[in-house]
């Protein structure tokens, strides 16, 4: 009986398949290039598919007789064709024409510098810009600081944006949060980003009003999208004044998969012997870093990418003790970080797409500091109030995991709906001397947004995000709304409103979990003009902060604040008759906040009122070189000494002032040549070319009688490096990036 039933089922399936018509083919542009993600459907039917990365498609339909098949893709004129289906296989080769109206349609962009379709004006920095911007030293964050909204905070890692602290800006790679995007280091010495700009093909620097798909960033989101497959197999090597590196990328013969590995060893010890630092180097800092990747196209046209990085770092330095002149603080650090990111993007039937992501990271920081006398002996007789400040032994171990799913449905033209969910799990173990504490949090978010194009002139984006954090046992709902109006083919107005929430910092939750979300409401108005080579952006904003964390006189959410200002960005890639590529960014910021131990609402010490950046790049064919200059100016930032009153655990302003204005002229040159048959780029750069004595703030002794400036570790930073590659010629990239 079972065999008979199985036979009947199999025969039914065979008959169904036999009764279907198989339709295959290619969808391309007029010039013959395959188009990915074209939605193909048969009217009055659920049958259809989408094209893969090469424009190929294949599906079966049980429809019979005369039918209409539709082809739809953003940026192209819809196409339809009538077919007579009789069960025979059909091959269709379709060429779509660009839809000029869609290419020139309004795009919501208030608050974001976004690199997208090259047919539109892109105002964000490309990976090449990050590599060649003078004085950025190929660091993502340093390059982003040349854009409006970012403050010139040089004494700590991270991005301070529009009156928000560095904690309020989060980084995401392929949709998932990066909990530790920077290397660890001692207080008042900023560290670099862990990730090289060459890893990314797209960047969104959102200074506010960002998408409901992202959360837990009170002020800003830096959203990075990794590259897909390399153009070809290649090997690389780097020799420089501070590090050595080697890598290999292998592209499969069918160009549908690749794998790669990179190794880097950093040891600035020899460099420090030539360029003296503001601290004593007991043992040269050393950084061992490695990363690997694997990527492949699926048979349905999607892309799967896996990236992993592992690094071990150590540092041993001594700095002066501000309370006792003959003493030094000996700081010893060892760290380890392992980061993993897996993503899968896939198109499936009826214009649906899913984007799945998962990440896991492990970070361990061990910091030890002791006070030593001039003979190098450990001092054990410090007063208790100084002993706790200067002698410490800490260890932090963080495990962070995230899973995320986003579904998207194209609704015709530029209209779309996307929704999804994500879950974070975090386990952090803190050890401070004999004291230890473990924080465990499960965070869940549901989100959705819809893109409406009422006409090619008017666009709306409506979204919302709901979040729950287990450690504070609270929900929130965050609405988002953006709109754009196309004034002309090259200009538009955009506006954005949104409510954004963020949990308190872990170091605050150690003391109490009886806290709630911090909240910021963003209001943004933006005007943008752009063509193929020029971009002008003018943006005004207002942010209202509520429920900021106060740490004195008690831990609570009674803090508040505001930030408002105007920003300008202008870029011309063909200036002075194609002679120069340059951009100018300016920010005016008025902000005050009452949070942490602040006794009143005041301008925070990371916020300058005026900031100006000018970046210029020029390709000089006569010497086969790209010459790059960058200049940054910022008015003085506030500094203050908050003295503690132990009777009521409050603080008052014992001293205050403003630092002098910040000035930094950076220079770099990239010379293209051949070395031993390899394509080579020789890079030389220097920060603060004019040797300005920049000051970020002041440190105070315990009683406030002594204050000393917080400065860069050296007046200038010099870098010389040789980048070798076999299998790919980077010279064209550099020339094309400027011309």
pLDDT per residue as tens digits for the range 628-676: 999 999 999 999 999 999 889 999 999 999 999 999 999 999 898 989 8
Is residue 459 within 8 Å of 108, Cβ to Cβ?
yes
Rounded-to-integer distance, Cα 530 and Cα 525, Å: 17
For the CA atoms of 149, 154, 155, 159, the dihedral, rounded to the nearest 10 degrees, stands at 30
Among 23-37, 190-204, 642-656, the range with the most confident prediction by mean pLDDT is: 642-656
Helices (H), 550-637: 575-578
pLDDT of residue 2: 42
The residue-averaged pLDDT of 466-484 equals: 95
- pLDDT above 70 (res 122): no
Per the prediction, the chain carries an average pLDDT of 87
pLDDT of residue 14: 40
Of 89-93, 126-130, 148-152, 357-361, give the lowest mean pLDDT range.
126-130
Rounded-to-integer distance, Cα 448 and Cα 246, Å: 42
Q: How do residues 334-360 score in pLDDT, each as one tens digit?
A: 999 999 999 999 988 778 899 999 999
The residue-averaged pLDDT of 708-737 equals: 78
- Name residues whose C-beta falls within 8 Å of residue 578's C-beta, 6 or more positions apart in sequence: 739
pLDDT of residue 9: 35
CB neighbour class for 254 (10 Å; exposed up to 12, middle 13-18, buried from 19):
exposed
Question: Quick one: residue 596, left, alpha or beta (phi over 0 = left, psi -120 to 50 = alpha)?
Answer: left
pLDDT band at 55 (very low <50, low <70, confident <90, very high): confident
pLDDT band at 413 (very low <50, low <70, confident <90, very high): confident
pLDDT of residue 113: 57
- pLDDT above 90 (res 386): no
The residue-averaged pLDDT of 689-706 equals: 94
Rounded-to-integer distance, Cα 621 and Cα 640, Å: 51
Burial call 342-355: b when 16+ CB within 10 Å, e when fewer: bbbbbbeeebebbb
Residue 470, token pair as written in the block: 């287990």
What domains lie within the chain, and their CATH numbers?
22-98 (2.60.40.1120), 112-738 (2.40.170.20)
Of 272, 235, 271, which is closest to residue 251 (Cα–Cα)? 235
pLDDT of residue 46: 61
3-state secondary structure (DSSP) of residue 217: coil
Is residue 583 within 8 Å of 577, Cβ to Cβ?
no
- pLDDT above 90 (res 265): yes
Rounded-to-integer distance, Cα 244 and Cα 266, Å: 6
pLDDT of residue 199: 84
Is residue 643 within 8 Å of 651, Cβ to Cβ?
yes
pLDDT band at 110 (very low <50, low <70, confident <90, very high): low
Of 108-112, 271-275, 567-571, give the lowest mean pLDDT range.
108-112
pLDDT of residue 112: 64
Q: What is the CA radius of gyration of the chain?
A: 28
Cα torsion angle, 410, 416, 421, 426, sign: positive
């Amino acid at each position: 009986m079972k065999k008979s039933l199985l036979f009947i089922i199999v025969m039914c399936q065979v008959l169904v398949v036999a009764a279907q018509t198989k339709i295959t083919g290619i969808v391309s542009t007029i010039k013959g290039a395959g188009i990915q993600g074209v939605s193909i459907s048969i009217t009055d039917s659920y049958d259809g598919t989408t094209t893969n990365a090469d424009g190929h498609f294949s599906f079966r339909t049980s429809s019979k007789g005369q039918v209409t098949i539709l082809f739809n893709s953003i940026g192209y004129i819809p196409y339809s064709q009538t077919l007579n289906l009789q069960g025979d296989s059909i091959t269709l080769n379709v060429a779509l024409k660009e839809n000029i109206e869609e290419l020139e349609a309004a795009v919501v962009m208030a608050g974001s510098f976004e690199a997208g379709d090259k047919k539109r004006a892109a105002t964000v920095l490309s990976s090449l810009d990050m590599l060649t911007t003078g004085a950025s030293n190929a660091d993502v964050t340093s390059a982003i600081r040349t854009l409006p909204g970012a403050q010139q905070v040089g004494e700590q890692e991270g991005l301070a944006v529009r009156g928000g602290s560095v904690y309020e800006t989060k980084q995401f790679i392929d949709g998932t949060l990066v909990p530790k995007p920077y290397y660890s280091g001692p207080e008042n010495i900023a560290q670099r980003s862990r990730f090289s700009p060459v890893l990314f093909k797209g960047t969104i620097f959102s200074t506010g009003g960002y998408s409901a798909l992202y959360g837990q960033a009170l002020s800003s989101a830096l959203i990075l999208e990794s590259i897909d497959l390399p153009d070809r197999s290649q090997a690389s090597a780097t020799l420089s004044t501070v590090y050595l590196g080697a890598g290999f990328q292998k592209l499969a013969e069918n160009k549908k998969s690749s794998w790669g590995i990179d190794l880097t060893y950093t040891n600035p010890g020899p460099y420090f012997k030539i360029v003296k630092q503001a601290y004593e180097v007991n043992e040269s800092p050393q950084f061992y870093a490695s990363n690997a990747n694997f990527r492949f196209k699926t048979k349905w046209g999607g892309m799967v990418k896996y990236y992993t990085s592992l690094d071990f770092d150590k540092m041993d330095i001594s700095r002066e003790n501000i309370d006792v002149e003959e003493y030094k603080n000996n700081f010893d650090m060892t760290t380890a970080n392992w980061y993993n990111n897996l993503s899968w993007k896939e198109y499936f039937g009826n214009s649906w797409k899913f984007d799945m992501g998962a990440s896991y990271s492990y970070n361990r920081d061990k910091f030890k500091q002791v006070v030593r006398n001039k003979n190098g002996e450990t001092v054990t007789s410090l007063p208790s109030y100084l002993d706790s400040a200067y002698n410490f032994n800490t260890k932090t171990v963080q495990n962070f995991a995230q899973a995320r799913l986003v579904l998207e449905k194209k609704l015709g033209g530029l209209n779309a709906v996307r929704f999804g969910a994500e879950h974070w799990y975090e386990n952090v173990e803190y050890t401070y001397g004999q004291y230890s504490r473990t924080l465990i949090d499960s965070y869940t978010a549901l989100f959705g947004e819809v893109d409406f194009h009422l006409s090619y002139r008017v666009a709306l984006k409506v979204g919302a995000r709901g979040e729950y954090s287990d450690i504070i046992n609270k929900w929130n709902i965050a609405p988002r709304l953006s709109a754009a109006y196309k004034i002309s083919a090259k200009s538009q107005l955009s506006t954005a409103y949104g409510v954004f929430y963020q949990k308190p910092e872990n170091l605050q939750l150690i003391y109490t979990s009886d806290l709630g979300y911090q909240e910021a409401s963003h209001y943004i108005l933006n005007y943008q003009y752009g063509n193929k080579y020029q971009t002008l952006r003018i943006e005004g904003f207002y942010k209202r902060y509520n429920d900021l964390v106060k740490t004195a006189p008690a831990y609570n959410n009674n803090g508040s604040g505001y930030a408002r200002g105007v920003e300008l960005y202008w870029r011309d890639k063909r200036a002075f008759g194609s002679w120069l590529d340059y951009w100018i960014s300016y920010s005016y910021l008025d902000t005050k906040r009452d949070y942490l131990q602040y006794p009143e609402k005041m301008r925070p010490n990371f916020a300058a009122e005026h900031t100006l950046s000018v970046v210029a790049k020029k390709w000089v064919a006569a010497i086969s070189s790209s010459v790059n200059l960058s200049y940054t100016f910022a008015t003085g930032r506030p500094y203050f000494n908050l003295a503690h009153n132990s009777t009521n655990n409050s603080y008052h302003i014992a001293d205050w002032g403003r630092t002098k204005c910040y000035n930094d002229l950076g220079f770099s040159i990239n010379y293209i040549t051949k070395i031993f048959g390899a394509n080579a780029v020789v890079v030389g750069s220097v920060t603060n070319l004019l040797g300005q004595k920049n000051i970020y703030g002041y440190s105070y002794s315990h009683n406030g009688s002594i204050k000393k400036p917080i400065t860069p570790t050296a007046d200038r930073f010099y870098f010389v490096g040789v980048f070798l590659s076999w299998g790919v010629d980077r010279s064209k990239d550099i020339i094309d990036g400027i011309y």
